[in-house]
Structure 1
C-alpha cells in the first residue's frame, strides 16, 4: 500500500461500466497521478470504455467473488458496482486482507450502518475503509456542515434528489429503489422514530430554478446519519423523485401489494420495469437537482432557515454521485488519507472538495 504525496496512486474501479462507474472512470482518467484500472464483468463493455478513455488497463472481476489476490498491486479500490442493499462485504474484506484502501458509493442503509464492524480490522491493516462516498452522505453532509456551522441547534432537515427523466437508469439503482418500495422505512419525525412505507409520503417539491418535482421517501443511510450527526429535534427526511408523474406515481401504485403484504418485494421485477421506463426516455427533461433545506437556531438562539440547491443540466446529473469518490481518490494521491479505520463518508469532505468539479461540469449551486 502506497499513498505518499505526489506518488502515482493505482486505483481499481469496480463497476466501471455502470452509469456511475463509467463517469468516475472518465474523471479519474484525467487526474494527474491517478492510474485507474477498470474492472467489471462484461468484457465487451469494458474494452469499449477502456478504448474511449485512452486505453486504460482492465480486469474482469465479479465483486461477489473478489479476493485479496485480485487487489495485489493496487493502493485503493473503489466499489461503484452496487446494489448495496443486502450486499455482502466481500470487497471490504478483500481490501483489508490485501492492505488496500477502500471507497464505495454505497446507498444501502444496513450496509453503511454496519461499516463500523470493520473498524478494528481496518486499523490493524493500517487502511481507510470509507462507505457512502457519494451524493449522500458525503456531499449532503458537506453542505449541511457549511449551512449550520455557527448554529446552536437544528430542528428539521429535508433533502431531496431529483434526476431528469432522460438521465440513464442503471440496473443497480432500479434494484435499490425497488428493494424498499412499499416496505417499512424508519424515519425521524416529530422528535422520534416512526415507520412509513417506502416510496410513500408522496408530494410535490418546489425546486428553485427547476420547478415542482415529485418526491417520495427513500430508505437510505441518511435516515440514520442525519440524526447521528446533526441531532435534529424534530425531523430528518430524505426524498427522491422521478420527473414523470407516470413513472413516479406508477411506482407508488406498484408498491401497494408490498405495503399490504401480498408481495415481499418489487426487486425481482427490476429488469422489466427498467425496460419499460426506458421507453419513456424521450419524454421529460435532462435537468437533475439536489435540494437541502435545514431549519434551526443560530448562535444567538434566533430562528434560522437555510437552503442549498444544485442544478445539473445537459444530463450531467449522474456525475454528481461520483464526485465524492473522486475527491477521496485525490486525497489518497496527495498523501492525505483519513486515519485508518472504517467509517461512513460523513464530515470527511467539505464543499471546497467539490467546487472544481462543479465548475468544470458546469453544475450550478446556489444558497439562500
Structure 2
C-alpha cells in the first residue's frame, strides 16, 4: 500500500457500517482515507461529517446494481469492507469486483450458504491478485469459532456446543438484521444433532437460559454457519446449536408467533413485514435496557480426559452491543494494513485470533469472562 491507504466501507451509513467507522475513528492509529457509501451521497456525507477522526472520511453515493465496477475504478480502494447485508440470498459479485480491482475484501456475513461456498468462488482470483478475501468477520463465525477453538485447544473431545446472542432492547436494529431474522421464520435451519447435520424450525421451540450479568432471556434457534462448521471441524459428538433472544417479551413472543405462522403457510413472505417490525420496535425500546450479551456453553473431555463444561460470556453495556459484530472486521483491517494475513479466500476465524478480537473491545463497554461450571 502507498502512504495513505484507502478503505471503502460499503453500507457505511447502516447500523453496522456506522459503528465500524465510529470504532475506527477512535482505534485506528494510521493516516488513511476512509470512504463510506450510501445510495444517497448526501446521506453518506452527512454521516462522514458527523464522525470526528484524525483521518479523512468521505461520503460516496453508490448503488451496486448500477455502478459497481465504476466505483472501484474511481476510488481504487486498498481494502473494501461490505457491511450492507443481509447475506442470506447474496452472491459474490461485490467481492469479485473488489478483488478484480486490486482491493482486499472483508464482509460480516453469517449466512450458511454464502459462507459455505465463499472459498471455492473467490480463492483463485484472490491468490492470482495476491489479495485476501475474508468472510464471516463478525460475531459469528469469527468470534464464536475462535472462542470454541481457544477453549478446547487441548481437549480430547467436544460433546456439545450451545451458542446464544441476546442483544439489549434499546440497541438500534437496521432493516438488514430484521430481514435476516425473518428469513429463518418457520423454515428448516441446520443444527448439529447427535454428531451429524440435522435441522429444526427457525424462531420456534424457544427456551430460557440464564445469561451472566444479565439474567434470564428466552431464546429461539436461528441459522448461522456455526452448526455445520463447528460440528465438522471439531467432530462434536452431540449437538451444536445457535440461538438468539430479544429482551422484550412482546418482541420475542411476536417473532415466535411469526415463526409458527410461516411454518403453517399462513404468512407466505415474512420479509414483507420488515417495515412494520421496525416501527413496532420503537414502541418496545423505552421499556428495555442497554445491556446485551453472548454466551457459549461447551461440554466435553479436557486434556486429562475429565468431563468439563465451560461457559464463555460477553457483556455489553451503555448500548455498546452493536459494536460487537464489527470488531472482527476492525481487527482484520489492521492486520491487512500490516500485511499479517496470507493471501487467498478464507473464513474469518482462520485470519484472526480471539485475543485480537477482544483487544478491540477495550474501546467500548464490553467485557468477557470464561469459567468452568
Report the TM-score when normalising by structure 2.
0.93
Check whether the contact 1:179–1:267 (CA below 8 A) recurs between aligned residues.
Answer: yes
Give the distance between the partners of 1:161 and 1:344, measured in 2 at CA: 20
Alpha-carbon displacement from aligned partner over 1:97-117 (angstroms, at most 9, x marks no partner): 112110001122211112022
- Matching of residue 198 in structure 1 with residue 205 in structure 2: no
Structure 1: runs of 5 or more not aligned: none
Q: Distance in 1 between matches of 2:274 and 2:134?
A: 28
The 10-residue stretch of structure 1 (345-354 or 246-255) with the greater mean CA deviation from structure 2:
345-354
Residue 335 of structure 2 corresponds to which residue in structure 1? 331
Q: Secondary structure of the residue that 2:57 maps to in structure 1? A: coil
CA shift digits 1:133-172 (9 cap, x unpaired): 0011111122112211111111100111000110001110
**Mapped pair 1:39 → 2:37:** yes
> Equivalents in 1 of 2:64, 2:335: separation in Å?
24
User: C-alpha distance in 2, partners of 1:152/1:120?
Assistant: 35
Distance 1:363 1:140, change over 3 A: same
Superposed, 1:1-368 pairs within 5 Å as: 2=1, 7-30=3-26, 31-33=28-30, 34-54=32-52, 56-72=57-73, 73-116=76-119, 117-337=121-341, 339-368=342-371
Please give the alpha-carbon distance, in whole angstroms, between the structure 1 residues aligned to 2:114 and 2:282. 28
TM-superposed CA distance for 1:35, in Å, is: 2.8
User: How big is the shift at 1:66?
Assistant: 4.7
Q: CA deviation at 1:45?
A: 2.7
In structure 1, what is the Cα distance between the partners aligned to 2:126 and 2:160? 34
Shift of 1:70: 1.6
Contact persistence 2:195–2:235 (CA under 8 A) = no
- Asked which structure has the greater RCO (Cα within 8 Å, sep 6+), the reply is 1
Work out whether residues 69 and 98 of structure 1, in 8 Å CA contact, stay in contact via their aligned partners in 2. Answer: no
CA-atom RMSD in angstroms: 1.6
Deviations 1:285-339 (A, max 9, x none): 11010101101111221111111110000100000000000000000111212x2
2:308 alignment partner, SS class: strand
Structure 1 residue 351: Cα displacement: 2.1
CA contact (8 A) 2:330 2:360 kept: no
Unpaired stretches in structure 2, ≥5 consecutive residues: none
Secondary structure, counterpart of 2:326 in structure 1: helix
Instruction: Say which structure is richer in helix.
Output: 2
Instruction: Say which is worse superposed, 270-279 or 169-178, in terms of deviation.
Output: 270-279
